[in-house]
Structure 1
Amino acid sequence: MSETNTLEQAVEHVLELAKKQGAQADVIASSSESFSLKSDQGELSEYKVTASQVIGVRVIKDEHIAISYSESLEPENLSQMVNQALTNASFTKKDPYQKIRSEGLILRTEYPEIFQQDSATPEQKIELALSLESRIREKPLAKSAPYNGYSENSATVLLGNTLGTRCSHQERTFSCYTAALIDHNDKQAMHVAASIARTFDGLSPDKIINDAYEMADALLEGEPIATGQYSVIFEQDSLNDVLGAFGSCFSGESAKRGTNPWRDKVGEQVMSPLLTFKDVAYMPGGFSIKAFDGEGFATADTPLIENGTLVGLLHNSATSAHFGVAHTANAGRSAKGTLSVSSRHDVISAGTSSEAEVTAGEYLELVELQGVHSGADSISGEFSFGASGFLCRDGKRLKPVRGITVAGNFYTMIKEVEAVGSTVMPNYDGCFFAPLIRFARLNIAGK
């Protein structure tokens, strides 16, 4: 019997057990296989092959909700899991908004590019992992390559509920990473670069080797700049980090908890009119493609910001019922997790400015941030991060900058946008897409 058939049988068995005890339920079952390699000092320091499976149930009975999960698919363990969930539910506070609502939907992720056959041999993968380190160490100023690795993961996810919804999803990803550590003239700099792809041949080892070394080399002589206010352009991954630290402002779940400062601002201008932001279900080359959300509803695009105006929040069916609005199929839930709200691909739309216009005059380009989540208050918007980058003028880097702190208020920063570029680019992991965005003024603590 195939692995998928085994999971399907387990899902059906759990749903029958829940129905026999008068409960509504949804079940998520997942299995995964992963392979990872790490290299150090010219040898493999890790060779790991793992496989796992887990099944989890959310039961709802008399408005009481609870979850339980099992890593065994044996019938007695599944029965114990359901009984444990029902016992737990009897002790929980009633939640009238959380219900099983996806009825009779049959959904399957039908994008073949996200689950392709793997034709590469283990020898090719080992060669790649070892070459990442050796090729960095060949660089003239490289002291070492302290982090190098390769990994791949294949996953199957099934979702079913007592209202007849059945969903399935398969995906496969490959990734590799390396770090260049440069030690020269009593100064050190290190940079990490990574590549992610849907096939082994789609990885870009040459690019990440060059990116890691060249960025470490470029930052080596970096020093603090004068304290003051600067226009700032964040590199894609850094911008994603900043937006992620304040991502709860788009969450219906945080609004329901009362911790979202935009809870009552739908219809109001909260960003610069130059910004349009949406959650996108399918992006070509994206790595968050899935046909259904954590409740079994079909995923779709969700507009969030239009020309600076907040047009809505991300909702699951419970948060939407709480606020009396349409849900957006943004439920998050894993086999082991409770119901939450999550996004798919965060996309900022292209603006009208050319790259030359965005980079005109003097500005600070920030390529590395430290302490992003510990240095951010998502309610007040205040933030303070360590940062590295370059002082630039007219698109050219004048000098590297390190040992500075960038600070400000997120909700003010996103209203003070000077220019938005016309080309949308992905970050390294294909979950965030945005053009170049130039922010008018942020506080830099330097020398």
Structure 2
Amino acid sequence: MTQQSVAERLLNWAKDAGAEADLIVNESRSLSLKALNGALEEHNANSALTLGLRVVHENRVGTAYSEATDEDALRFMLDQALMNARYSEARPEEQIAPVSALEKAPPEDLNPEDETEIETRIQFAIELESRLAGKERIRNVPYNGVSDVIRSREVYSTQGAAVMQSERMQYAYAMPLAADGDDTAMQAAMQAGRHFGDLDLDALIDLAYRRSTELLGAGPVATGHYDVLFDANVQAQLFQAFSQMWSGKWAQDGINPFRDRLGKTVFDDRLTIVDRPRVTDGLAYAAFDAEGVPTQETQLVKQGCLTTLIHNTATGRHFGVSSTGHAARTAKTSLNVGLHQLFVLPGPDSEADLSADTYLVISKLDGLHSGINPVSGEFSCGASGALYRDGERVQMVRGITVAGNLYKMLNQVRAVGDSVRWDDQKQSCMAPIRFMELAVSGA
């Protein structure tokens, strides 16, 4: 029985019970390899299927999930969702999206055939670990791996939605432990792509080795205020940690700090920020959201001015606007909103502008999610990286704390680079931003 026929059966039962409903079907297959001491340590092949049902009955919403598709499991899931709806508060704004579409994302772009032999993948994993472990000042490589993941997402509803997307992602990563006497350091390196051939073993080894060994002997800088550039990964992590600034759900709940700033300048006028879910170069491509609503490019900030928040159909209905195609819901959670692929577009400033005078480049933030307040914008995290002067590295840095307010920082910008860069996971693509005078606690 296909997932679509399972969905049709379940949704017909929901309609017979007097409810509207939608169903998310998440399915994945993965192969993960890890090496230790020059041999394969782990070889895991996994598959998973999860169905998440949401029902709307008499303006009340209930959810339930199942990992089985037999009739008893499906009927139990429906009964649970209806019971949860019965005891929930009325939410008249949350309805099943009026989507009547059949869309399938192009498989040749997202889920390419890959006939790489398992022996080739195993050899890659073993060489990644053993060649790194054999390098000078590398004690061991406790964290390493090679993965091939194929996942699909389907959304069906009593309103006629039937959308599906299948994608393939290949990853390789390593985090070697570098040591020089009692001084130790670790820094991760990752590569990602849709084809196994996108992974470059030599480049990954060189990057992981350089990132870890460079921190040996590093120390703090003097306490003070410094201009700061975050590397591509850390800048992406920082925006992700504060992504609720775009949330229509937070605005509906009254806690989004930008809820009353639409059409107003919120950031430096060199900043234009967009969500581009259909850029196939990224690994967070999405043809539709968790309600089955088709996605499209959404401009969030234009030259510093806030142009929109992100919405699902419920938050859109609350504010009298259309969904922006940003509904977010897993099979086990309730309806929310979320970004897809965030882009900070190129600014006017050259590499010389980014690298003038003295500044810090931060390559790692520790405790980011525990050291932030997404409502106020405040954060304070341990950090490591390097101190630069006029583009030349002065010293490697660790043992410092960087603190600031991201919302204020985005108004205190020294330069916005004229090129963009993907983070290692290919989830976001951003121009580098040089922030002015962040507080740094060091020696």
Bucket of the pairwise TM-score, normalised by the shorter protein: over 0.9
Corresponding position of 2:314 = 318
Corresponding position of 2:289 = 293
Partner Cα separation in structure 1 for residue 294 and residue 24 of structure 2: 16
Query: Cα offset for 1:103?
Result: 2.9
Quick check: 1:338 aligned with 2:334?
yes
One-letter amino acid of the structure 1 residue matched with residue 96 of structure 2: I
Partner Cα separation in structure 2 for residue 111 and residue 275 of structure 1: 34
Corresponding position of 1:165 = 161
Q: Which moved more, 1:363-372 or 1:239-248?
A: 239-248
Q: Give per-residue Cα distances to partners, 1:337-371, cap 9 Å, x unaligned.
A: 21110111000000111111211111111111101
Within 5 Å, give how 1:152-191 maps onto structure 2: 152-191=148-187
TM-score of the superposed pair, with normalisation by structure 1: 0.97
One-letter amino acid of the structure 2 residue matched with residue 240 of structure 1: A
Query: Which of the residues 343, 352, 355 maps onto 1:347?
Result: 343
Q: Give per-residue Cα distances to partners, 1:403-441, cap 9 Å, x unaligned.
A: 000011111111000111111110011111111211111
Within 5 Å, give how 1:41-190 maps onto structure 2: 41-110=37-106, 112-190=108-186
| Contact 2:110-2:280 at 8 Å conserved across structures | no
TM-score of the superposed pair, with normalisation by structure 2: 0.98
Query: Which of the residues 361, 373, 379 maps onto 2:357?
Result: 361
Query: Cα offset for 1:39?
Result: 1.3
One-letter amino acid of the structure 2 residue matched with residue 398 of structure 1: V
One-letter amino acid of the structure 2 residue matched with residue 408 of structure 1: G
Query: Cα offset for 1:187?
Result: 1.4
Q: What is the total number of aligned residue pairs between the two structures?
A: 443
Q: Give per-residue Cα distances to partners, 1:103-130, cap 9 Å, x unaligned.
A: 3211111252210112011111111111
Corresponding position of 2:399 = 403
Query: Cα offset for 1:251?
Result: 0.6
| Contact 2:415-2:434 at 8 Å conserved across structures | yes
Within 5 Å, give how 1:203-242 maps onto structure 2: 203-242=199-238
Query: Cα offset for 1:43?
Result: 2.5
Q: Give per-residue Cα distances to partners, 1:218-244, cap 9 Å, x unaligned.
A: 211211110000000000111111112
| Contact 2:153-2:165 at 8 Å conserved across structures | yes
- Provide the secondary structure at the position in 2 that maps to 1:31: strand
| Contact 2:109-2:280 at 8 Å conserved across structures | no
Q: Give per-residue Cα distances to partners, 1:362-407, cap 9 Å, x unaligned.
A: 1111111101011111112211010001110121211101100001
Partner Cα separation in structure 2 for residue 402 and residue 249 of structure 1: 29
Query: Cα offset for 1:136?
Result: 0.4
| Contact 1:102-1:296 at 8 Å conserved across structures | no
Corresponding position of 1:386 = 382
Q: Give per-residue Cα distances to partners, 1:61-81, cap 9 Å, x unaligned.
A: 110101111111112211121
Partner Cα separation in structure 2 for residue 284 and residue 98 of structure 1: 31
Q: Percent identity?
A: 37
Corresponding position of 1:419 = 415
Corresponding position of 2:258 = 262
Corresponding position of 1:306 = 302
Q: Give per-residue Cα distances to partners, 1:181-200, cap 9 Å, x unaligned.
A: 21114311111111111011
Partner Cα separation in structure 2 for residue 436 and residue 221 of structure 1: 27
Which runs of 5 or more structure 2 residues have no equivalent in the other structure? Answer: none
Which runs of 5 or more structure 1 residues have no equivalent in the other structure? Answer: none
Structure 1 runs, 4 residues or longer, greater than 6 Å off = none
Q: Give per-residue Cα distances to partners, 1:67-98, cap 9 Å, x unaligned.
A: 11111111221112111111111000000110
Quick check: 1:200 aligned with 2:188?
no
Partner Cα separation in structure 2 for residue 171 and residue 404 of structure 1: 40
Query: Cα offset for 1:284?
Result: 3.9
Corresponding position of 1:246 = 242
Partner Cα separation in structure 1 for residue 358 and residue 107 of structure 2: 44
- Provide the secondary structure at the position in 2 that maps to 1:147: strand
